[in-house]
Structure 1
Amino acid sequence: METTMVQITVFTDADVRKQSNSDAIASCVRTLLDQAQIAGHLEDTLTELTVDLCTNTRGELECMYYFVAPDRRALFWENDFEATNLFGEVKGVTNGHIKYAMEAEYWMHRELYPNDCKITPELHRELQAMILHAYTDTIFSEASLAPFDTDELQRALNIVDYLNGIVNKPDSIINDQYIWAYARLMRMFTRARFSNFYGEIGARLGTDHTVYAEDNYLDRRPIVKLFNLVLFGSPSSHVRKIDSVWVDQSVNRPRWKMFMNGLRNEWSGLAIYSTVMLAVDISFLAVPAIGQRPSAQIALYISSLWSVASLVVSALLAQSSGHQDSIDRATAFMTRMTRSLHGKENLAIIFSLPYALVIWGMVFFFLALSLVIFLSANVTTWCTAGPAWLLVIGFIGWPVWAARGPQIGRPTSSLWIRRKLGT
């Protein structure tokens, strides 16, 4: 379709074989092009137009659209458009920073319609530099902002090296799938730049850094302080981990995968401990002497219940975590959980349950064993087993006390010095 001095490419997903759809699309395109021509938006630039049809509440066909300026990697509209719809959970976006959100949408458009796009040496070098920078960062940084892990980035580099052979090839040779590959990678890197305020004052420099306010994640919440007492300090540890992966209402994909893999490994190991503890409790209950010690028997019953609870909770959490591998599902899950009362704290407590329950099972088993040893014990037993019992308590308490060292905040560079303004 052509207008004066301007070549326009029109894309649509509507079934234009239906006459009603074809007429509606043609009418919409004519109206939009007239508006854009009058506004001077179609001069000296290659422009694309994407239109689609929807049905309003009255059952009437309506037209949806957006224009694309490929040379600027931008979208534009002839009517007022609420740009915040493009931002997601990113707050405080400035006018200059919107370009990355717009560019990400441009590459999404190019994924959907990969034809009619030329792969230039400049585009190839830009993508190659992005991947190389991210690959280097993930190797040498524990808080890399790259949207992929090292293995994925290595494969991405191989893809780009392979695509090097099609740069500057005639359009008839370049397949749409090649263009789609460029568009997918460019969209993900551009969206990461937007989310991390690339090029802006106060840009995010690490996955655990907030760009909005100082977030002292080591400042214990009241509910965490309470449950730390009964869950052996595990909620504090999980709060720090959650704070490092859920920053500014967003999730970094490689860090989230590492976080979830760590949780699954933790729960799998605790399930083994729980199974062993349950077997030990049942075996100990079969000892005839236990029947003569009702208090020890009760302690073993409680230990068995804690072990079963830890085993069940570990299995449930491991099963539910399998649905959180997708970054979109992970973001939706974290958004839903953190918007509830005591959101992240509740999540940390839930993640702490398998560990705390198995520890409580061990505590009650130790109590049952102590009751069997010392109830109705003679002087010889007290003199020999007593010191050993105290030594065991000391060995258990030593690593617990050692682990309660001073909390280390986020590191700052030793190159910085403080100085009052004007001095």
Structure 2
Amino acid sequence: MWKRRGGGQDGHTDSETVLRSNDTPLASIAHPTDPLTTTLQLYQNVASPTTEQKDNGPPMLCRENPDFWAISPTYFKRYERPRKIAALTDWTAYEHPEGALYFHHESKNIFTDASLRTPAVLETISGLVNSFTYFVEANGIDLDPSTELVLDLEEAGEDKGRCGYYLVDHENRSIFWLDEFEKADLPDWNEVPGGLYNLVTPPTSSSEKITQDLVDELRDMLTHALGDVSTSPLSTIESTEDELKTMLQAVTAAEKQVGKLAPGSMCLLSRFMHIRARHRFINFHGQPAARLGRNQAIYDESDGRSYLITLLSPMLFSAPEVHLRMLRDIYVDQIVYAMHINKVISRLNNEWQEFILYATVLLNANVAVLAIQSVDDGGADGTRTPVQISSYLSIAMSIGSIILGLLLVRQNRTKGKESAPEAMRFMSRHSLEILAILYSLPYALLMMLAFVGSFSFLCFDSTSLVTRLLVGAVCVVITALIVWCIWYAWESSGHESWWKSAFEKLVASVPQEQIMSTSEHAEHGDERRAVDGEGSKGGSWRLFAMFRAKRDSMDSERTTV
């Protein structure tokens, strides 16, 4: 890395303060002059500091040279520059494995992708290099020989002539600057300790050899990740099994290049290390609250429901609750895994396509009912029978379900292969509850039972007693079976529904002594329960007591660690 030269303030021997960004938290790695007490005091032992330095703080490269500014490696604009071929001196040209051209000043260990074959650009870069060298020497800063300086020259626009920079320390796998650097300038989660280093290693990979330690570290990491994905449905690994197998094969192939300059292999291995660093950071590896499963929330997030979904969920047959749980399961701590969200999108598309088919069948059934001559009597006064009105409502809901289903399928089919950042941006712009309500509309419209009302009017209006009894008995049995199925689904889901929560609140409002007293009467067969109609009251209170004492779920007994 680098260190500050200078004698102690008390006349003692020279001391060194070494910047090691990997040894400090993210809050203090951006710049060695961060005012936090945990930050390395880069200029602590300055020899005979001037009055101006005392007043303005430690020397800053950008302050003394306005043509410089500290940048994140992500903003390095190698893909956005027009290229012109011209004569080149002093610098060595290299070709990046992806095809980009960049230059290396071997004696000063400086990299840039500026168009140095343009004389004006070469002159500008040379002046900036001289300014940087003067700043380092004037302030007694020692840079380790392995430290690399990367320059990003603005060749157009309002900032033309200014140069972004960052320094790379290969020994500690870190990025640092000679200025204060705001964490807000880091664009996303990728900018983490170690992650930045591995992100920017490819432009300078021609100067680095592949080591056996790097290959062994990557092989061990990928082997564990492959096993984790294969055995755990809640793995925090972002890559799929096929992707991990491909990475492992690439690492095995790169092992043959150990000890050699292999820019292509080094570029690929650096990407793998970047993925590893990002994974460790977002899941708090090595911390007391490390995330062990992708559905485990680290931050304190409320799982409460808004009034909107609380009111609409019962009217939509609790369908939004199902979709809300699904969305919250894939969007924990604002982290999205592309593999899992693509599975959810595929599942939703299949679900909506099925609802479109069911709604089409129901639409045909309603049209067939209206085509019955006895139903559509064509009244001259414009009045319609209850059968017709119910069929009209059912047709409208079926058409609504079809249109909504088609729109949702069309909108989400294009998202089937989107990346995790794109999915995260989409979900961060929309409320999960609103999305849950929207995704449940095709199902809810299909379940409005308007066609059942039309059928009931057709069967029970102006029909014989025998017809009513037979159809009524069958309808009662079928209704009981449907209620039983719904009850079983709610009980076995392990999730508390809105009506059960309301019922338990009602039970909780009853004095506990009264419930216990009623339970004792029920257990011992108190003879007074048959006197003055108290038996019915006892049975009613016994129902409350039964629900009060019932366990919600067996999940806790099945949980293993």
Return the TM-score normalized by structure 1: 0.84
Secondary structure of the residue aligned to 1:65 is strand
Residue 209, structure 1, aligned to residue 296, structure 2 = yes
- Corresponding residue for 1:386? 472
- Corresponding residue for 1:330? 423
- Corresponding residue for 2:326? 241
- Checking the alignment, whether the CA contact within 8 Å between 1:8 and 1:46 is kept in structure 2 is no
> Cα–Cα, structure 1 residues 102 and 254, in superposed 2: closer, same or farther, change >3 Å?
same
C-alpha distance after superposition, 1:124-174 (max 9, x if no partner)? 111111111111111221211001122322222232233333233x32xx2
Secondary structure of the residue aligned to 1:372 is helix
- Corresponding residue for 2:280? 193
Alignment of structure 1 residues 17-416 onto 2, 5 Å: 17-37=117-137, 42-54=142-154, 60-86=160-186, 88=188, 101-168=192-259, 170-171=260-261, 174=262, 176-213=263-300, 215=301, 217=303, 219-292=304-377, 294-324=385-415, 325-337=418-430, 343-360=431-448, 363-405=449-491, 406-407=494-495
Distance 1:246 1:410 in 2: 23
Shift of 1:76: 0.8
Shift of 1:369: 1.2
Distance 1:21 1:412 in 2: 70
Which structure 1 residue ranges, 5 or more long, are not aligned? 91-99, 338-342, 417-423
Shift of 1:191: 0.9
- Checking the alignment, whether the CA contact within 8 Å between 1:89 and 1:250 is kept in structure 2 is no
Shift of 1:182: 1.1
C-alpha distance after superposition, 1:356-381 (max 9, x if no partner)? 12222xx1111111111111111111
- Checking the alignment, whether the CA contact within 8 Å between 1:11 and 1:51 is kept in structure 2 is yes
> Cα–Cα, structure 1 residues 377 and 259, in superposed 2: closer, same or farther, change >3 Å?
same
C-alpha distance after superposition, 1:274-310 (max 9, x if no partner)? 2222232223332223314722222222212222222
- Checking the alignment, whether the CA contact within 8 Å between 2:338 and 2:423 is kept in structure 1 is no
> Cα–Cα, structure 1 residues 23 and 344, in superposed 2: closer, same or farther, change >3 Å?
same
- Checking the alignment, whether the CA contact within 8 Å between 2:291 and 2:297 is kept in structure 1 is yes
- Corresponding residue for 1:421? none
Instruction: Select between 274-283 and 392-401 the one with higher mean Cα deviation.
Output: 274-283
- Checking the alignment, whether the CA contact within 8 Å between 1:323 and 1:329 is kept in structure 2 is no
Shift of 1:228: 1.0
Shift of 1:25: 1.7
Distance 1:119 1:81 in 2: 31
Secondary structure of the residue aligned to 1:49 is strand
Shift of 1:68: 0.7
Distance 2:555 2:409 in 1: 31
In structure 2, what residue type is equivalent to 1:347? Answer: L
Distance 1:305 1:392 in 2: 26
The runs of at least 4 aligned residues of structure 1 exceeding 4 Å deviation read: 37-42, 55-60, 408-416
Shift of 1:323: 4.2
Shift of 1:226: 1.0
- Checking the alignment, whether the CA contact within 8 Å between 1:270 and 1:355 is kept in structure 2 is yes
Distance 2:189 2:249 in 1: 32
Distance 1:68 1:75 in 2: 5
Distance 2:145 2:486 in 1: 68
- Corresponding residue for 2:69? none
In structure 2, what residue type is equivalent to 1:147? Answer: E
Shift of 1:411: 6.0
Distance 1:44 1:112 in 2: 19
C-alpha distance after superposition, 1:56-114 (max 9, x if no partner)? 98564211111111221111111111134337369xxxxxxxxx813111121124454
Distance 1:158 1:412 in 2: 42
Q: Which has the larger radius of gyration?
A: 2
In structure 2, what residue type is equivalent to 1:273? Answer: Y
In structure 1, what residue type is equivalent to 2:293? Answer: G
Distance 1:81 1:409 in 2: 52
Distance 2:291 2:337 in 1: 12
Shift of 1:414: 6.7
Shift of 1:410: 8.7
**Identical amino acids, percent of aligned pairs:** 28
Secondary structure of the residue aligned to 1:305 is helix
Compare relative contact order (CA 8 Å, sep 6+) and give the higher one, 1 or 2.
Answer: 1
- Checking the alignment, whether the CA contact within 8 Å between 2:352 and 2:405 is kept in structure 1 is yes
Distance 1:10 1:281 in 2: 76
> Cα–Cα, structure 1 residues 212 and 278, in superposed 2: closer, same or farther, change >3 Å?
same
Instruction: Select between 190-199 and 146-155 the one with higher mean Cα deviation.
Output: 146-155
User: Paired residues, what number?
Assistant: 391
- Checking the alignment, whether the CA contact within 8 Å between 1:16 and 1:22 is kept in structure 2 is yes
- Checking the alignment, whether the CA contact within 8 Å between 2:349 and 2:409 is kept in structure 1 is yes
- Checking the alignment, whether the CA contact within 8 Å between 1:145 and 1:205 is kept in structure 2 is yes
In structure 2, what residue type is equivalent to 1:378? Answer: S
- Checking the alignment, whether the CA contact within 8 Å between 1:74 and 1:106 is kept in structure 2 is yes
> Cα–Cα, structure 1 residues 35 and 200, in superposed 2: closer, same or farther, change >3 Å?
farther
- Checking the alignment, whether the CA contact within 8 Å between 1:36 and 1:78 is kept in structure 2 is no
Instruction: Select between 149-158 and 365-374 the one with higher mean Cα deviation.
Output: 149-158
- Corresponding residue for 2:8? none
In structure 1, what residue type is equivalent to 2:124? Answer: A
Task: Calculate the aligned-residue CA RMSD, in Å.
Answer: 2.8
Distance 2:141 2:362 in 1: 73
Shift of 1:31: 2.1
Distance 1:354 1:41 in 2: 67
Which structure 2 residue ranges, 5 or more long, are not aligned? 1-89, 92-105, 378-383, 496-552
> Cα–Cα, structure 1 residues 371 and 240, in superposed 2: closer, same or farther, change >3 Å?
same
Distance 2:307 2:374 in 1: 44
